[in-house]
C-alpha cells in the first residue's frame, strides 16, 4: 500500500506521554500554594496544550498578569519534581522508531516549553526519532497553525502529505488551520465527544489503536 502520510506530527503530553494527570495536579497544587481558588480537573485538562500565557488567561481570567510568574514558578516546582518519572504510553518507545524505519518523518508540536521538551526527550531517549520539533515558547500557541506550518517548511512536506496526531481540540483545530489532516486520541486530556466535534479522521482510544490505524491507513 503506498504511503499516504510522509510526515507524522505528534503532540507530546497526553498523546505520547501519560502526563495529563500530573499536569492537572501541578496546576491545582500551584493554585493552593498561592491561596487561589483551585480549578476543577476538567477545567485544567481543557487548557493542556495551549501556550503558557493563553493557558493561564483561559483558566484563571481574573488573575493579575503580575501574579503569572509566581504561579508558573509553583507549577514548575510541582511538575519538574516528578517529570523524570512520567511514563510514555505503552508501545510508544517501540512504535516510533518503527515508523521512522518505514520511511515516515516524525515531528513534535507541543505546548511544552523548549526546555521542557528537551528534558522529556532526554528522559525517554526518543530525540533521535524526530526530524523537527516546535514548542509553545517558540511559536504562536495552538490552535494557531504556526507550529505545523514551520514544521512543513522545515521538512519540505506538502500539507496533504502530513498528519497531526493529538489528544486535544487545540491539536485538531491547529491541524485544520494549517490545512493538514488530524487524528485524535481520547486517552489524554480531552474526551471523545469534544474531539469528534473537530471532525478528525478518527478518534482512537489507545496508543495500540494508533499503531494499528497508522499501519493500515498512513
The residues annotated with a catalytic role in the active site are: 11, 13
9: left (phi over 0), alpha (psi -120 to 50) or beta: beta
Q: Are 188 and 167 in contact (CB under 8 A)?
A: yes
Q: Across the beta sheet with 105-109, what order do the strands follow? A: 132-134, 105-109, 7-10, 162-166, 181-185, 203-204
Residue 68 cell numbers, joined: 503569572
109: left (phi over 0), alpha (psi -120 to 50) or beta: beta
C-alpha dist (Å) from residue 156 to 2, 33, 105: 19, 46, 11
Using alpha carbons only, what angle is made at residue 175 by residues 122 and 9, rounded to the nearest 5 degrees? 30
Q: Are 15 and 165 in contact (CB under 8 A)?
A: yes
CA atoms of 119 and 153, how far apart (whole Å): 25
Amino acid at each position: 500500500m503506498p504511503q499516504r502520510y510522509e510526515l507524522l506530527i505528534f503532540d507530546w503530553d497526553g498523546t505520547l506521554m501519560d502526563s495529563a494527570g500530573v499536569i492537572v495536579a501541578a496546576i491545582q497544587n500551584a493554585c493552593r500554594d498561592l491561596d487561589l481558588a483551585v480549578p476543577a480537573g476538567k477545567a485544567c485538562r481543557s487548557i493542556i496544550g495551549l501556550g503558557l500565557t493563553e493557558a493561564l488567561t483561559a483558566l484563571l481570567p481574573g488573575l493579575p498578569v503580575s501574579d503569572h510568574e509566581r504561579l508558573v514558578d509553583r507549577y514548575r516546582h510541582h511538575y519538574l519534581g516528578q517529570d523524570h518519572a512520567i511514563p510514555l504510553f505503552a508501545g510508544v518507545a517501540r512504535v516510533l522508531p518503527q515508523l521512522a524505519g518505514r520511511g515516515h518523518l516524525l515531528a513534535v508540536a507541543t505546548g511544552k516549553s523548549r526546555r521542557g521538551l528537551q528534558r522529556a526527550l532526554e528522559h525517554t531517549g526518543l530525540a533521535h526519532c524526530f526530524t523537527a520539533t516546535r514548542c509553545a515558547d517558540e511559536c504562536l500557541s495552538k490552535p494557531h497553525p504556526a507550529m505545523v506550518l514551520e514544521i512543513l517548511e522545515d521538512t519540505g512536506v506538502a500539507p496533504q502529505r502530513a498528519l497531526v496526531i493529538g489528544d486535544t481540540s487545540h491539536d485538531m483545530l491547529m491541524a485544520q488551520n494549517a490545512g493538514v489532516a488530524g487524528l485524535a486520541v481520547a486517552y489524554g486530556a480531552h474526551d471523545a465527544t469534544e474531539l469528534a466535534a473537530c471532525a478528525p479522521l478518527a478518534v482512537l482510544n489507545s496508543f495500540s489503536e494508533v499503531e494499528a490505524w497508522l499501519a493500515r491507513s498512513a
